[in-house]
Each structure stands twice: as structure tokens, then as C-alpha cells.
Structure 1
Amino acid sequence: AYKFPKIKHENAIFRKGLAYSYMTSKENTKWILSENSINTSSSLIGNALSNLYTNENIFHILYNDQPPVGETSEVKGHTKGVVLANENGGIWLIHSTPHFPPIGRGYSYPKTGTVYGQSFLCISLDVSNLNEVGQQLKYNEPFIYSTNIPDILSKKFPDLVKAADNVTIKNAPWYRQTNLQTIAGQQFVSFAKSKNFGKDLYSSWVSTVLKSDLFVETWRKGPGNLPSNCNNNYKVNNVKQIKLQTIRFLTTEDHSKWAVSENLEHTQWVCIGDINRQEHQLQRGGGTVCVSHKNLSTNYLKSVIDSEQC
């Protein structure tokens, strides 16, 4: 899902910064504008997280460097997400929204998350793949603000339990790549780096593994923005302007973190993740999750209407 920034529009959902478009494993030929606001439990994200608020026996890990309550972490991973699981499997939600999701009383969406665009990727995984997520979180070094680990599930998810206990990687290599397969059989590639990786996620690693030039859309507001990089075998170009359906917005209005192959005749990758192309992010844990998919990559690439050349 892709939440639009708050914009001037005849539709109140857009004016409030609560409009979003989505694609799913079944509906992915084009972006679909949701009729629901992202702050309602009937939204795609609200529905995905419903078990968090209605099922006391659900295994959960909530992590966010800007948690709903308390201080922002400047040292833990720059990474935001949710793991929910029962004995058969569960979901991994990767997103970019600060102070989200809330703990406890029920689903809501923070006012602070309405101004800018935000990205969401939700994948359904079986038990073994969820344990792979636990391995990745040890590298990402997330700031975990809520866990629920029912005894009956702790033996099923040893790697997630370690991640929930803040076990992190103590020795090189400071990065890990793994394949994940969804319950429906779709293949994803997860990239996770620790703060000791010390290089740009996209130009130093992801583009090389995917063998693809990439357009990368990340947060560009603030100091230390990294320029587009054409020095390696594969180019990484910063996105400057996006057009989603009929709505245009600048990267400075967008807090999303995603990348797409520049030439779909060669590769058809889309990645959604955690890390901005900014200098201080070289010293933060985090990662991205990529999928090779013709329709998704076509729709993301169409949304890039201006980029920064090298």
C-alpha cells in the first residue's frame, strides 16, 4: 500500500492525508484507490493488524525507531514493522510510519503520519519463513516497543524470540540476504544490515545483488542526502517527483522507502524497506524486501516522473 501525502483536493480523505492506493497478490495490474481511510480498521492495513487488537493469544513483535510512546531511538535500527503469528504462520508488515501501530486499545493511525507519503508491504509467511524474519531482525537491530510471546508459540519461533529479546549480531559479516516464500508461493528477497555495515544499502549492495539499475525513493528532507550514484556497475538514481494515479508529489513530501528497476526489459524488481539514502543512515541497522514482479515493477516505474541524474 502507498499512502498519499496530505494535499489540496476535493476529496476530504486526501485533504486529511488519509488516502491510500494498493495492490495485492491477486489485484496488481494497476494501483487501486481505496474507499477506506487508512485510519479505519476496515482499511487494508487495519484489517491486516486486526488480530493484534482482538486476539490475546497472537504472537507479536512491534518495532519502530519512533515508537508511539517515548523517545525516538537514534542508535537502534532505522526500521519499522510488525510480526504477527499463530501456530500456522503469520504476517510481516514493513512500513515507514513513525509512532505506528499503537499498542493496546485498538487500531488507529497517528496524526503525525498523515502529512507525508508512507509505504507498506505486508507478506504472509509460514513458520519456517517467519523464523527467517527473526534472523533478519538480529541484523536490523530494531527498537522493539511491544512483544507478546505465548508459551505455546515460543518453541515454534526460536529466532523471533531471540530477536524479541534484542539479540543482535556481534561479528562480521554485518549483513545478511535471505529468500522468503509467501504462503501463496511468491518469492521475496530480504536484505538486512547492521549499523556496522557502514555503506549505502542500495548502491553498495542491493543493486549489485539484483544486477539492476535502480530508481530509489527515500526521505530527502534533512541533512546528509546522498547523491545519485553511477560509479558502480549499476546506477542508483534518487527519485525527485512521483505521480501516483493522478496525484503528483515531490520526494520532500514523501516518507516512503522503495526502489524499482530502471529498465524492465532487464529486471523487474520492486523493493520496500527501511533505509534512507542519507549519510547518518550508513550507521543504522535496517534493510529492504524485494520482489521480482512484472505488474508491480511496471506500476512503480510509471510513478517515477523525475529523478536526479549523476
Structure 2
Amino acid sequence: MELHQQTGPFCIKHLRKIQEKPLLQEMQTGKLTHKLLGLLIIRLVKLLNINVPPDLPKVRTKSNSKGVLMMDPGATDAAAWIVHTVPGFPKALRGYVFPPAEIQKGHLLICLTIKESQIDPIAKTLRIATPLIYYSDIPDTQMNSRPNLKKLVDGESRFVPPLTVSQEISTESAQGLKVTIYSKGEKSRYEMYKRILVKQLKSTIKVWTTRDNILKSDCRKVGRNIKLITSPISVNGDASTLENDVSQWLVSEAGNKFCAIDKPYHKSQAKEPAMAVCIDDVTIFTRFNEIAFIRAWDNGAQPFTNAGGHSFGKAIEDVVGNNRDIKFLAYNNVPPRVPNLKTKSNSKGIIILSIAAATDSAAWILHTVPGFPAAKTGYSWPVAENARGHLLICLTISESQINAIAASLLLVQPVIYYNDIPQTETAGMPYFNKLAEGKISTLPPFTSRQTIRTQNANPVTVHIYSKSESSKYEIYKKVIAKVLKKTIKVWSRRDSKLKGDCRGSQRHIRLIKSPAAINDHNTNLEADITNWAVSDPGNIFCHIDKPYMKNQTREPAMAICIDNINIFARFDAIAAQLEDCPK
């Protein structure tokens, strides 16, 4: 049995086995072509501050600030500020290693991209908060024009870890679809789903993949959650489970994005290369989103094993056949007839192009099937895979997109088991030629964040409030509530001295009850070390670097407050239950 949905230019397929019969849930929309939008690689220098530095136990400081201030030292105006709550993190220039002791705790990480003109105002507020600087490689040439930054810097240095590369392409139809490729090298040490996909999509994601006993659903950062789809799922009334489904995919909760990923949601992939292809299209999104919820698909006309009557069989007919005008490169971490190959890659796919005169025709096929297809030996679907769920994506592209795709594939180190594309066709494709020759990319890419005032079409304003230890101010009441001129609802650990404060009109301090519910997941103050507040009335969210305790009146402290209704609404939902005002 096969499920099939047809609406326009590309094909996505999903296979199941029901009572010994292969079941396919497929979206067929013909050809999907892409237009390269660009590759973003930013070289940054960093300044890191934290009150619990890596590898420096029992450092005494009154500061509780944790963050990273980054800038581009070249001509590009690019900078970033990251504020977080994780002690002993990050270890500068030594790869991504999240402190194991913090995995069971709630943490908040805020990443903001800024203009370089914002750095000195941030440094000015940080000076008042007296953070402990444990790393800086910002050159003197950049600090000379920033007096506050120069005073802030301490001078300890380490190395910057590589992050990710993103490549955007679009379909060549009149209303082209946006396709974004995200890939990471094995040395990045980033967990693909949280550190790359959630961050890049800027949305909660709902994930269908096998999982280990380490990585869980992650609801620590509102609007950037990872929700694991419950197994079994139902597709048009037919059930499938993670035990027999080896596909990895996700849909965004906000927006219309669907992503196929070549690595499962396992801790081990943090040390391996990985790649994801994300498509921004409401039709594709809707079908996969229905699997996560209502799950409505239509029956297909033919079983997947039927090469002549099935759309995917048609898509690879010149791969398994012999058309002298069609050439291709095939890669698979489990190549056909090559047993027990050792590789950290998990990518599987085919790049196809036509060498016929006066034609611009190519395709990129991504799939999850080991040992498939065998080149030019006829259509032979692996019988052992009938019992598993698989994902297959077929994209029809212009030939100009191939080099961009190859640039992303370079980082994931795919195992190429067949290539007959002539060099005359790829003379202007340096990344493809490196891919075909098995060369590994050594240039580490970087990313950026948002800060102070976002630079998108609807910029978001971020206010920074800080106080010195000599001010003797209690930051929640004397600073935040006073400046906002509003009551604030506070989620924070508290001592036995400071209580909720309902004196006067408005400008109250209301404490959120513990435990609190985040999307039906309970959290409590014993396991959560974040400190945040929302205004009443809205729409302001604040992150504070000190808990609601009396001793912070004699310590430096800082808060950043973001005026954004979407962020506010998510945190405000957590703040539904408040403690009573003191009598």
C-alpha cells in the first residue's frame, strides 16, 4: 500500500511497511529548481565573560554575568552578543562541550546580532556589572576607538570553534521556493538539531527521529523548543514506529518549514558531520505537520517497488538505467556491495545532470536508503528496507545550483561510490570538483546573532540595565520595575528575605509559583537556574543575571529587556500562576 499526495513541482516520499506490504506516504509536485542565494561565512573575534570560568574552579567574584561579545575585525559591520546562564561554558576555541552537570538544569541562552557601533554601549553596561573576563582576542585596533571596551578587556586568549555553514537556493519556477542547506564539520562539536536547526529556523521544531537516552525534548528556551513526535505515528490510519523507521525529519512550529536531516537525534552526532535540507513551502509543511498531528495523506497509485509505475522509480530511471546524455554522482555511507565501510558520514543522495546540448537540466535526490541505488544495474529496491520507514526528496534544479550544493556536501564528507560526470561539465564548479575528488573542507565557517536592535524588516529593541555594587540597589524593584514603570512577574530562585512586593500602585513584584508548566512539561526552581521576568501589562521580557535574593543589592547585576509580543507571550504563559501578595 502507498500513500500519495500530488500538488506541483518536486517529490517527497515516506515509506512504511503494513502487513508485509510497503507503504509510501508521498508528496509529488514535479520539478523543484533552485537559485543560489549565497553562502555566509563570517570571521569573528571574541570577548568572553563568565563568573564560573572553564577550568578555573572556585574563582571568587560577585559578578553573575555570563556571555560572549563578538565582532568582525575586517571591513564588514558584523557583531554579536550572547548572554547565557551556564557556568563554565563555553570553553573558548576548544569545541562545543556542554557541562554534563548542567544538562538536568534549566538554562537560558540569548543570542543577539548587532552592529559594531553597539559594542561600546554594551561594554559600558558590562563595566558596571564587573564581569570576570576569561578570554579576549579583539585587536587593539578595534579597541582604540572603543574606550569602554578597552577598559573592559582583560587579555586572556584561546581559540574560536568552528560553527556551521548555510547555503540558500531557490526553485526556478515563477514563484520559487526557498531551500536552505545547513551543514557542519565533525570538529564543530555542535548538536545539529538544537545548536543549528532551532537556532537557524528561529522556531520550535517537531522532530521525528530515533533518539538515544541522552538527548530529550528541550523546552528551555521559549519559542526555540525541540518537541519529539510520539511513536507510533499514524499516516492515513496506518501506524509506524521509530523501531522500524530510519528517516529523520522535522517541521517548524511557527512557519512553513520542513527539514530532512541525515543524522538521528543522538548525542554522538555532535562529533560527526551532518547536513539538513530545509524547504519553506506550505504544502510540504502541511503534510508532514499532519503526520505529527492529524496526519492526512492520500493513497498512491503504485507501490514503491514498482519501478515503472512509481514516481521515484521514474526519477532515477537514468541512474539505474543507461542514458548516454544523463550523468550523475551518487553517495551513500552504506554503498551498494561495499560491506562494513567505516565512515562518520550518514549522507545519502544523487546529483544528476544532463549533458545534452542546449539543455539546463539537473536534479538533487536525498534519501535514507542504505545500499541504494546500484548504478546502471537496473532498479532493485532492497527488500530488507521494506520494514522500515524512509524519506526521499527529489529536487529538480538548474545546473548552476550544483556547485552550491557541493559546497555544503564538502563539510559532511559523503562517501562517493559512483561518478561519471565529465570534467568538461564541471570546469566552473570548484566545490563540486573538490567533492568528486574526495577533498575535505578545512575552512571553518561561522555564524552571527541578533542584539540591541535587530536588523530585520521589523527590528526588535533590546534595553540593557545594569547596576554597580556600590549602588546598593535591589535590581528587580529599584531598577527594572522602576524603569519599566510596570508590575513585573518574576521567575527566579529566592531567599527567605525578599518576598513579593505589592506596595503602592502598580510597579509590584509578583513571584511566579513553582513548579511551572512549559508546554505540559513541568519545571521547578530547584532544577532551573534561570532568572527572568515579564511585565504586567506586556509586552516586555527581561533576562536578569542575578536571582531575587537580598545579597544582590550589594553586588553588580545586569538585565536585558526585549520589547516583543511573541517572546513575551511565550514567557507570560509560563507565568500563569502567581504567589499571593504578602499580607
Taking structure 1 as the reference length, the TM-score comes to 0.71
Distance 1:128 1:278, change over 3 A: same
- Aligned pairs for 1:135-214 (under 5 A) are 135-165=124-154, 180-184=452-456, 185-214=459-488
Write the letter of the residue equivalent to 1:230.
C
Quick one: distance in 1 between partners of 2:118 and 2:70? 13
Does residue 519 of structure 2 align to residue 245 of structure 1?
yes
Report the equivalent of 2:237.
none
C-alpha contact 2:143 2:150 (8 A) present in aligned 1: yes
Quick one: distance in 2 between partners of 1:228 and 1:159? 36
Distance 1:131 1:158, change over 3 A: same
Larger Rg: 2
The one of 116, 124, 127 equivalent to 2:113 is 124
Write the letter of the residue equivalent to 2:551.
H
C-alpha contact 1:96 1:118 (8 A) present in aligned 2: yes
Report the equivalent of 1:236.
509
Quick one: distance in 2 between partners of 1:118 and 1:299? 16
Quick one: distance in 1 between partners of 2:93 and 2:100? 18
> Helix, strand or coil for the counterpart of 2:91?
coil
> Helix, strand or coil for the counterpart of 1:131?
helix
Write the letter of the residue equivalent to 1:238.
L
Taking structure 2 as the reference length, the TM-score comes to 0.39
Does residue 101 of structure 2 align to residue 112 of structure 1?
yes
Quick one: distance in 1 between partners of 2:553 and 2:101? 25
Quick one: distance in 2 between partners of 1:236 and 1:200? 12
Identity %: 23
Write the letter of the residue equivalent to 2:484.
L
C-alpha contact 1:240 1:251 (8 A) present in aligned 2: no
- Aligned pairs for 1:268-279 (under 5 A) are 268-279=539-550
Q: Cα distance, 1:74 vs. partner?
A: 4.0
Structure 1 window deviating more from structure 2 (147-156 vs 275-284): it is: 147-156
C-alpha contact 2:511 2:579 (8 A) present in aligned 1: yes
Does residue 66 of structure 2 align to residue 80 of structure 1?
yes
- Aligned pairs for 1:50-69 (under 5 A) are 58-69=44-55
Quick one: distance in 2 between partners of 1:156 and 1:243? 47
Quick one: distance in 2 between partners of 1:157 and 1:248? 44
> Helix, strand or coil for the counterpart of 1:145?
strand
Q: Which runs of at least 4 in structure 1 moved beyond 6 Å after TM superposition?
A: none
Write the letter of the residue equivalent to 1:213.
T
Structure 1 window deviating more from structure 2 (205-214 vs 153-162): it is: 153-162
Q: Cα distance, 1:279 vs. partner?
A: 1.6
Q: Cα distance, 1:240 vs. partner?
A: 2.2
- Aligned pairs for 1:5-44 (under 5 A) are none
Q: Cα distance, 1:290 vs. partner?
A: 0.5
Structure 1 window deviating more from structure 2 (144-153 vs 70-79): it is: 70-79
Q: Cα distance, 1:154 vs. partner?
A: 2.7
C-alpha contact 2:460 2:563 (8 A) present in aligned 1: no
Deviations 1:282-301 (A, max 9, x none): 22212111011111111111
Does residue 556 of structure 2 align to residue 285 of structure 1?
yes
Quick one: distance in 1 between partners of 2:78 and 2:62? 27
Write the letter of the residue equivalent to 1:204.
K
> Helix, strand or coil for the counterpart of 2:128?
helix
C-alpha contact 1:225 1:277 (8 A) present in aligned 2: no
Q: Cα distance, 1:83 vs. partner?
A: 0.6
Quick one: distance in 1 between partners of 2:97 and 2:84? 15
Report the equivalent of 1:10.
none
The one of 513, 517, 528 equivalent to 1:254 is 528
- What RMSD in Å do the two structures reach over aligned CA positions? 2.2
Distance 1:288 1:59, change over 3 A: same
Q: Cα distance, 1:225 vs. partner?
A: 5.3
Quick one: distance in 1 between partners of 2:548 and 2:519? 25
Q: Cα distance, 1:230 vs. partner?
A: 1.5
Q: Cα distance, 1:59 vs. partner?
A: 2.5
Quick one: distance in 1 between partners of 2:83 and 2:149? 15
Does residue 569 of structure 2 align to residue 298 of structure 1?
yes
Deviations 1:154-205 (A, max 9, x none): 3354322211149xxxxxxxxxxxx942333321110011111212211111
C-alpha contact 1:100 1:109 (8 A) present in aligned 2: yes
C-alpha contact 1:98 1:112 (8 A) present in aligned 2: no
Report the equivalent of 1:102.
91
Unaligned runs of 5+ in 1: 1-49, 167-178
C-alpha contact 1:132 1:180 (8 A) present in aligned 2: no
C-alpha contact 1:215 1:259 (8 A) present in aligned 2: yes
> Helix, strand or coil for the counterpart of 1:190?
strand
The one of 464, 471, 491 equivalent to 1:217 is 491
C-alpha contact 1:149 1:161 (8 A) present in aligned 2: no
> Helix, strand or coil for the counterpart of 2:577?
strand
Structure 1 window deviating more from structure 2 (148-157 vs 193-202): it is: 148-157
Unaligned runs of 5+ in 2: 1-40, 156-450
Deviations 1:200-258 (A, max 9, x none): 211111111111111111234xx555211112441111222322122111122210111
> Helix, strand or coil for the counterpart of 1:118?
coil
